């Protein structure tokens, strides 16, 4: 089995092979920074710069795929949040929602548990009275 560098008549040295391998392996730890440093340091070696550029292009492709996926996720979430079925509930939500209001509307710090039916059970915190 022949090497890609040997096909062109250029046999890479052991140092070049090591740096090419490091460009691929260090992307797992350093992302795109490590291959960029290797590319800038060993720019005169065609073998090393080829492998470092391969890794940089792979990282750019990975970044683009992640950004497209995140954009799609946020679009789906925004559409589903404003969809008419998402805002109309025919039954109570699966959990109770606790709200705390601090002295607004003349109330002395109401704690309310919303049951989902539009009603709120309130405890005003005065001698255990319910109101």
Query: Cα–Cα distance between 47 and 22 in angstroms, integer?
Result: 13
Residue 82 is predicted with a pLDDT of: 76
Residue 108 is predicted with a pLDDT of: 52
Residue 37 is predicted with a pLDDT of: 94
Q: Under a CB-based contact definition with an 8 Å cutoff, are residues 86 and 55 in contact?
A: no
Where along the chain do its domains lie?
4-84, 89-123
Residue 81 is predicted with a pLDDT of: 78
User: pTM of the prediction?
Assistant: 0.54
Q: Under a CB-based contact definition with an 8 Å cutoff, are residues 22 and 38 in contact?
A: yes
Query: Cα–Cα distance between 93 and 3 in angstroms, integer?
Result: 64
- The pLDDT profile of the chain, 131 residues, written as one tens digit per residue, is 455 555 566 799 999 999 999 999 999 998 899 999 999 999 999 999 999 999 999 999 999 999 999 999 999 888 887 766 655 555 555 444 545 444 455 555 444 554 445 555 555 555 544 54
Select from 54, 50, 32, 31 the least CA-distant residue to 42: 50
């Amino acid at each position: 089995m022949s090497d890609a560098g040997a096909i062109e008549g250029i046999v890479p040295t052991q140092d070049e092979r090591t740096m090419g391998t490091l460009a691929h392996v260090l992307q797992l730890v350093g992302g795109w920074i490590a291959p960029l440093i290797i590319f800038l340091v060993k720019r005169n070696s065609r073998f090393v710069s080829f492998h470092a550029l391969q890794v940089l292009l792979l990282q750019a492709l990975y970044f683009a795929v992640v950004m497209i996926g995140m954009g799609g996720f946020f679009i789906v979430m925004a559409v589903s949040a404003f969809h008419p079925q998402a805002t109309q509930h025919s039954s109570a939500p699966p959990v109770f929602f606790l709200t705390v209001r601090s002295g607004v509307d003349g109330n002395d710090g109401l704690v309310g548990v919303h049951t989902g039916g539009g009603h709120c059970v309130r405890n005003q915190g005065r001698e255990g009275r319910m109101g």
